[in-house]
Amino acid sequence: MRRPVAVRVVGPLQWIVYPALAAIAATIIFATPVQLFGLMLPEPVFPMVLAFAWPLIRPSMTAPAVLFGLGLFLDLLWNGPLGLWALCLMGVYVVILLSRNLLAGHEGVIRFAWYMACTLAAFLVAYVIVAVRAGNPPAILALIGQILPTLILYPIADWMLERFDDGDIRFR
């Protein structure tokens, strides 16, 4: 006689809502005007982790809508052009969604290379849009000061992929 198998159901609350709220909280904390040894806190783009991890975990209709809202939140918080980060985050989501089959089964270095490429491409798009809109390119050192902390966030994306990828055996 077969025994029932315990199914660990991971719903949208665990892999979409809670990480989105954590990204909002972390963004607000890092946006506080605190100086440490004369330096300001870095301002990484925390939702970039979600834009990379969500299409690999499970494509859904909710994730792009939440990413769009997170992008608008970043634009309003950082007083940037409205829709800039929403466009960049959605671009990362679409690229990873379309290349999902290529990334299936890869670990570590390959996924980090894709994360790095997508992050750099998103920042390049943001840089070009801001430069064209303002008529003056932003400072490169400030841009690098935002790119590097965003790249350092990759272990969070890797942890999310390991934690939620096989979270629900109904989707295997």
pLDDT for position 172: 47
Q: Flag whether 114 is in a domain.
A: yes
Q: Between vectors from CA 110 to CA 109 and to CA 111, what angle results, nearest 5°?
A: 95
Record the pTM.
0.88
**Which residue segment(s) compose the domain that 131 sits in?**
12-165
Is residue 109 assigned to a domain?
A: yes
Q: Is 1 inside a domain boundary?
A: no
Q: Which ranges of the chain would DSSP assign to H, the alpha helix?
A: 12, 18-30, 47-57, 62-77, 84-98, 100-103, 109-134, 140-152, 154-164
Backbone angles phi, psi at 39, to 5 degrees: -110, 145
| Cα 33 to chain centroid, rounded | 23
Judge whether 3 lies within some domain: no
Residue 171 lies in a domain: no
Domain total of the chain: 1
Q: Does any domain span residue 62? A: yes
pLDDT (tens place) for every residue of the chain, 172 residues total: 566 655 556 677 788 999 999 999 999 999 998 887 888 889 999 999 999 999 998 888 999 999 999 999 999 999 999 999 999 999 999 999 999 989 877 888 999 999 999 999 999 999 999 999 999 999 999 999 999 999 999 999 999 988 877 654 444 4
pLDDT number for residue 1? 59
pLDDT score for 6: 55
- Which amino acid is located at 106 in the chain? H
**Residue at 146 is within a domain:** yes
Structure tokens at 130: 């801001």
Q: Could you tell me if residue 141 is inside a domain?
A: yes
Buried b (16+ CB within 10 A) or exposed e, 78-88: eebeeebbbbb
